[in-house]
Amino acid sequence: MPELTEVERVRKTLSPAMRSKIICMNKSEATSVLRTSEFSLAGKVINSVRRHGKYLIFDLSTKGSPAYMLSHLGMTGTWSLDDSKEWRPYLHFQLELVKEGKKLWLSYTDRRRFGNIFLVRSKARLNTLGPDMLSKSFNKEWVDFGISQYPKKELKPFLMMQYYFPGLGNYMASEVCARACILPTRKLKMLSKKDTDALWEAIKEVVRIGMEEKGLPYKRYKHLAGARSLGGNCNGCKWFSTCQDSFGVEGNTKACNEFEDKLLLVYKHERCERCGSKVKNVEQDKRMSWFCKKCQK
């Protein structure tokens, strides 16, 4: 599933759509991704695209009350921006735009259909999220507050709580635990001041490296320009049969492995990148966690 860093990269690449006027909206009759439609998009202008956690927020100009299009990519959702109209597999939602006399098509595709799009007049749906992890409001005091609220909760499931860590997902949470040298199964009440300091530093480091590297490469994620995944093997890639970054750039084996070397110590690894010990995994809240028993206590 795309996490904070992958969604942020998608947001940045949608910038050519800003200040575009929406001519019409088309959606598949069978689509289930459009969950609410409180108004028509026709005639509105996309002022900006922001991100909060794993949500993309399209700010729309309107006469009177505000209007927003909220998008959660789910497992396999992605947006594409094209200068010509074309049919794509698993196309659910498409906007015809015009900007400075030029037409553009903004399309949402989603193979597994776990993504959601909401056309709403308020952002109340985002009230379940705390401060974004790239904002100044996200600080150690906020993390310490969350720890104090759930003393009996294990660390890794706590890091997956979107109210406290909007945008953090499975691979980033596993790597935070690894870099903090804390087992993902540790109860929050067992964390010392030294542990919470290490946890905060690990959170900052994982987010920083993820943003610098523009997200984790992952299989069969089609990017905005519509690049399609290939079959077969990506020779030399430690990760996938087809190596793609979050833009869907195919066969970028070097970038894939460099990202792994910079950020990933344990996630889906056989050996810990820090000490070489065998990496173990455990299921927590129906998600797998990877850890090194030697480095993490």
CA nearest neighbour of 103 among 81, 88, 119: 81
Q: What is the mean pLDDT of residues 205-231?
A: 57
Q: CATH no. for residue 118?
A: 3.20.190.10
Last residue of a domain, one of 105, 128, 151: 128
Whether residue 69 is found in the same domain as residue 202: no
Whether residue 149 is found in the same domain as residue 285: yes
Whether residue 13 is found in the same domain as residue 64: yes
| CA gap 261, 256 in Å, rounded | 9
pLDDT at 220 over 50: no
Whether residue 16 is found in the same domain as residue 124: yes
Q: What domain range includes position 80?
A: 4-128
At 157, the pLDDT band (50, 70, 90 cuts) reads: very high
Whether residue 62 is found in the same domain as residue 91: yes
Strand order across the 116-120 sheet: 34-37, 116-120, 67-72, 55-61, 45-52, 20-27, 91-99, 102-110, 77-82
92-135 confidence digits (pLDDT tens): 889 999 999 999 999 998 888 889 999 999 888 899 999 999 99
Average pLDDT, the chain: 84
At 29, the pLDDT band (50, 70, 90 cuts) reads: low
Q: Is 60 helix (H, G, I), strand (E, B) or coil?
A: strand
CB atoms within 10 A of CB 93: 22
Q: Which residue has the tokens 């010990």?
A: 277
| CA gap 38, 35 in Å, rounded | 10
pLDDT at 227 over 80: no
Least confident of 116-120, 141-145, 196-200: 116-120
Q: Is the dihedral of CA 210, 212, 216, 221 positive or negative?
A: positive
CB distance 154 to 284 below 8 Å: yes
Whether residue 121 is found in the same domain as residue 15: yes
Last residue of a domain, one of 85, 105, 128: 128
Higher pLDDT, 293 or 216: 293
pLDDT at 240 over 90: no
Whether residue 161 is found in the same domain as residue 278: yes
| CA gap 32, 29 in Å, rounded | 9
Whether residue 34 is found in the same domain as residue 123: yes
Total number of residues shown for the chain? 297
44-86 confidence digits (pLDDT tens): 999 999 999 999 999 998 777 789 999 999 988 889 888 888 7
pTM: 0.83
22, β-bridge pairs: 97
Q: Which amino acid is at 162?
A: Q
